[in-house]
Amino acid sequence: MWIVAGWVLVLLLLAMWSGLVWAGEALLAAALSKAGTLSTGDWSLPEALTAWLPVPVAEWLAGTLETLTPQLQALVGTLPWLSGGVTVLAWVVWSLGALLLLGVGVAVHVAVALWRKSARSSLPPSVTVLR
């Protein structure tokens, strides 16, 4: 019974893991597919951030952002193309997690089997175990 309970728990965790990876893949693919729509004018510091930062730091960040605008725009232009790789990445991440959960299931199975064997061997020989 404990072995079945362990495998049911592993299967429930695998279902939750699958849902989490699927949702993360969908959100990331949607975000990357829309990322190419940013225009050059969108690259500025938020006013809430500039009000919170000291003036020299805010000016330095604004200057750095202005300097890096062409590189950032080129990167954003490639993001929709990269959204196709999200599915491959999701499958790799899911596979690693599934293998880890499978390993946990095997470990629980072996641990319960060894526990049963040690409990059976610790009984006196005159006692019979009914199943």
The tokens for 38 are 């940013």
CB-based contact 25:97 (threshold 8 Å): no
In a domain, 10, yes or no: yes
Q: HSE (CB half, 13 Å, CA atoms) of 59?
A: 3
Is the residue at 130 inside a domain?
A: no
pLDDT tens figures, 7-54: 999 999 999 999 999 998 888 877 777 666 655 556 677 777 777 788
Q: Is residue 41 part of a domain?
A: yes
* 58-112 pLDDT, tens digit each: 888 888 888 887 787 777 777 767 777 888 899 999 999 999 999 999 999 999 8
88 in a domain, yes or no?
yes
Supply the pLDDT for residue 36: 60
Range of the domain at 34: 2-121
Overall domain count for the chain? 1
What's the confidence (pLDDT) of residue 120? 75
Residue 128 forms part of a structural domain = no
pTM: 0.57
58 domain residue, yes or no? yes
Give the integer Cα–Cα distance in Å for 118 and 28. Answer: 49
- Give the pLDDT of residue 72: 75
